[in-house]
Structure 1
């Protein structure tokens, strides 16, 4: 009996170690795949603060929390089951979803660049007087959750595609757990960052009224830095969107056997890498990223022109449609 108990405990320990290793593998795979979603994540964090613009500071965190809960529902209850089932029964469709995401990112990024260069702005603004704050808040939250669904779908498609290179992707549950980890991590990072950003000015104002000279100095620094931070996030988010969107399009071209642009981009990347010595890896990557962004800018500009000038459609796809 003792021998049987010892054997049983030994088996349990082996199962536990195997499970722990699997969890580590899933976490590592999720981390590698999640890193590819940088463009979408940065842009999401960059534009989400606009959803609390014009509202009472006391309502900022409740609004962000409501959007966060909606984002969790989007990712875990709608997109996660759909993505796992798609990968199991129709994996060939993933590349088409990725292409749609790449086109969306290219369009959004190009439109932002065009607006910065003096082009026509599209979508509603928050400059009008808010007559019904409760209704306005509900509309703003609903708009944010709708757009989060689009961005989250892109994130899940990108992660699902990246997981195809991971051993963990061989199992239905492994893919599901990895996608779930990325979904939770991305949501916490994005909306946690947004909460910190939107309250930075309140913290700065609070510290600026302290008696301590150091606290006052830091508070004034936060107040002055806030506008620059939002502008920097917007700029970085636009660049990241174009880089990721263009990279997706290049990958899709390669998958469909159209390699001239893909080969040219990688050829220039390797040429720069081989010609620049110790910094070759970084400069080669930057070259490929810049070419990806340029492709996205060109493709996105064509789509923006067709939508707004030819088909006379307004901006109805991104967050700026609700809060520019």
Structure 2
């Protein structure tokens, strides 16, 4: 009896060690996959704050919570199962899907740059606070739709990084990535959105240093939002351009990505790893801008062709 109990305890200990090792493996793989998707995360974090512009302060955090829940639902119920099924039964489709998503990111980035130079079309949005509950629902739904595309990119990039793992391991890794990414993005977004309120609270009381910090946070807020917008645009072009370039190489068209890789190696030789990374990033962003501008031109032309027909009907 005692021997059986000892053997059982040994088995339990062995299973616990195996489980711990599996958790460590999932954590490390999730961290690796998350790092690969960092550019899209920056973009997601930069894009989301504009969806709460115009809300009264008491509605900002509830709206961010709704968007975060919608984002997590998208990742866990729709994107992750679809990505896992594709990776299991049609792995050849992952690269084209990645390239399609990368092209969309290039399009979004190029469109925003063209708008800054007055070359794009931008529809002015009425302040949410004047439109009531229905407008809040519409803005939240719009944010969740935008997040769906960015979340799809995050999850497919993450999946591509761990494509060689067993199915169960891939599923566990993607679940960890989905939860971690959602908490990270919307935690940062909530802090950014409420930063001016925190600053006002600090500025109204306490020591002189505390008040100075509060005033600094309030005055820095517009610059931070403007900086995030710029970083988001650059991230879209860089990530989107790199995804498409890498995809063409994976599909057997090596010329263009070969040029970029050669440039990266030359820069690395001259100034080290950082300069090499900057060369690759800059080349990817330029490629993304060119590709995105071409897509914008095509979309604009198609819309102009359709407009007279729509008006006629």
Q: Same fold (TM over 0.5)?
A: yes
2:203 aligned with 1:204, yes or no? Answer: no
2:23 aligned with 1:23, yes or no? Answer: yes
Structure 1 residue 118, shift from structure 2 partner = 3.0
Q: TM-score, normalised by structure 1?
A: 0.90
Task: Determine the structure 1 residue equivalent to 2:210.
Answer: 215
CA distance in structure 1 between the partners assigned to 2:125 and 2:145 by the alignment: 17
Structure 1 residue 313, shift from structure 2 partner = 8.8
Alignment of 1:295-314 (within 5 A): 295-312=287-304
Structure 1 residue 131, shift from structure 2 partner = 4.3
Contact 2:199 2:218 in 1 (8 A): yes
Structure 1 residue 121, shift from structure 2 partner = 3.5
Structure 1 residue 204, shift from structure 2 partner = 1.1
CA distance in structure 1 between the partners assigned to 2:86 and 2:39 by the alignment: 24
Q: Give the length in aligned residue pairs.
A: 306
CA distance in structure 2 between the partners assigned to 1:104 and 1:136 by the alignment: 26
Structure 1 residue 237, shift from structure 2 partner = 1.3
Please list every run of 5 or more consecutive structure 2 residues that lacks an aligned counterpart in the other structure. 307-313
2:145 aligned with 1:146, yes or no? Answer: yes
Task: Determine the structure 1 residue equivalent to 2:115.
Answer: 115
Secondary structure at 2:40 match in 1:
helix
Q: TM-score, normalised by structure 2?
A: 0.93
Cα deviations by residue, 1:16-38 (Å, 9 ceiling, x for unpaired): 11111111111111111111112
169, 172, 193: which one pairs with 1:174? 169
Structure 1 residue 211, shift from structure 2 partner = 4.5
| Structure 1 residues 307 and 133, CA gap change in structure 2 (3 angstroms) | same
Q: Which has the higher contact order (CA 8 A, sep 6+)?
A: 1
Contact 1:33 1:158 in 2 (8 A): yes
Task: Determine the structure 2 residue equivalent to 1:284.
Answer: 276
CA distance in structure 2 between the partners assigned to 1:256 and 1:272 by the alignment: 26
Structure 1 residue 41, shift from structure 2 partner = 1.0
275, 279, 291: which one pairs with 2:270? 275
| Structure 1 residues 37 and 126, CA gap change in structure 2 (3 angstroms) | farther
231, 235, 252: which one pairs with 1:240? 235
Contact 2:111 2:120 in 1 (8 A): no
Task: Determine the structure 2 residue equivalent to 1:132.
Answer: 131
Secondary structure at 1:312 match in 2:
helix
Contact 1:53 1:126 in 2 (8 A): no
Structure 1 residue 40, shift from structure 2 partner = 1.5
Q: Considering only aligned residues, what root-mean-square deviation do their CA atoms show, in Å?
A: 1.6
Secondary structure at 2:66 match in 1:
helix
Secondary structure at 2:181 match in 1:
helix
Please list every run of 5 or more consecutive structure 1 residues that lacks an aligned counterpart in the other structure. 315-324
CA distance in structure 1 between the partners assigned to 2:180 and 2:133 by the alignment: 30
Alignment of 1:7-156 (within 5 A): 7-127=7-127, 131-156=130-155
CA distance in structure 2 between the partners assigned to 1:275 and 1:147 by the alignment: 40
